[in-house]
Amino acid sequence: MKPNFWMRSISFAKLRDLLLLIARENGTLRAKDLNQLAIRQGVLVRDGGEPFRPTTIYHYRRILERLGLVVKDEGRFLIRSPEDAATLTCGTAIGEPLTNPQRSAFASAVVTNRDCHEIFFRPLLGAVALPRDIDDFLERAGPATLSVTRTKGGPPTIRVASQLEVVESKGEAAVQAIVWGIKLWCTSELNFIDELLSIRGAHQLLPRRVDEPLNPEVQARRLFKLFQFTNGWATQRIEDLLVTAAINWKSPITNTREVLLWILRTYPHAAVAVPTSEQFALNRLPRAQRDIALRSYLRLPTGQLVSHIRLHKQAELELADGGRAHARS
């Protein structure tokens, strides 16, 4: 079966608004009516108010259909399952930013989609069976890498790989669909995959919870278990801590970074930030990749870039003994 590369660069907030319009007029709008209404209501328009191009509008409608959120009955759009779509359509208004429950609802639609599964989620899950929803996906998903190889004269190849499975797709359409699907949808818009840049240039994909509350003391206690102390000290690479926390607990890397900064602030006598040269860390990376590369490091308030953290056992003991550091008397 020929893979279907229909993923496009869209805003899920606008997609939710479009769904809201369909829900309001359930079963009455044809494509043409929906387009006019969405433009009139300021949904499918650019920041300056100019309507989207017809092709873009078509892709918004098509993505709603492909994700199984709406169906067409004699050319009129219907919400496929009003109960399932309730999170996206109830208690919200056009133009509001996306909430985390809405992100989770969209994420469930994406991870349970057969096309998305076949062309980029299979290596993360290592199995053919579709997940039930985003929670089931996060329960089962592991890390993977995403890389694009471009050769002169031939079609580009995009590769999503894990230790469990490798999926390779060829052609510019595949590259665009998968990059949008993973990097835009899952990473930037729906926040259930984190992305780090590995040294070899591949992008590491780490499934993460959409919404994990920040609790530094609990999370620090968990992280301390990853340090193997020798003569009282242990050194860990920040990137390794981020990846391990993501794999073990599906912790977002932003949370883990916050916790590491909290450790450095709370235990200044027992936690040492090991700096690295920023120029070396970002050595001649394209501008677009620098921000992703910087995610593997900590940035101190002084501006220093930190690659490792060295921790004394005393910090762990102090955390266990009351949760706060003892002020040095």
Partner 1 sequence: MQEAEGLARLGLKYNPFPPASTGVAHVNDLWIPDAWQQDLRARYKDLQTGQGDRALPIVGEYGSGKTYLLRWMGETLFEPSNIRHFAFDNPGVAFYDLANRLLRQVGRYELSKALWEVVSLRQTHTTQPRLVDFTFPEWLSSIRQPSAKADAIGQLRGQILGLELTTDEEIAHKVALMVAETGSRPYFEYRDFVAGKAGALVAEREEAPYFRTLIRILLLVNSADGIAFLIDEFEDVALQRRLTKKQSFEYLATLRRLLDVSAELPLWLVVSMTPEAFAQTTSLDPSLAERFAPEYRIPPLTQSEAYGMVRHRVGEARIQSREGIFPFEEGMIEELRLSTSSKARPLIKVLFQAVASASSRGMSPPIPTELVREAEETVYPVAK
Angle at 48 between CA 289 and CA 96, to 5 degrees: 75
- Choice between 151 and 279, CB closer to partner 1: 279
Closest by CA position to 18, among listed 100, 71, 88? 88
Q: Contacting partner 1 (CB under 8 A), which of 101, 142, 155, 275?
A: 275
Which tokens in the block code for residue 13? Answer: 């907030």
User: Closest approach of Cβ 245 to partner 1, in Å?
Assistant: 18
- Contact with partner 1 (CB under 8 A) among 308, 316, 318, 319: 308
* CA-based R_g, the chain, Å: 23
* CB closer to partner 1, 1 vs 280: 280
Nearest alpha-carbon partner for 20 in 74, 70, 75, 59: 70
Residue among 211 and 229 whose Cβ is closer to partner 1:
229
- Contact track, partner 1, 215-254, x by CB under 8 A: ---------------xxxx-x-x-----------------
> Collapsing DSSP states into helix, strand and coil, what is residue 143?
coil
201: left (phi over 0), alpha (psi -120 to 50) or beta: left
Q: Does 276 bind partner 1 (CB under 8 A)?
A: yes
Site string for partner 1, 164-203 (x = CB under 8 A): ----------------------------------xxx---
Q: Is 31 exposed, middle or buried (0-12, 13-18, 19+ CB in 10 A)?
A: middle
Residues near partner 1 (CB under 8 A): 198-200, 230-233, 235, 237, 265, 268-272, 274-277, 279-281, 283-284, 301, 307-308, 310, 312, 314, 328
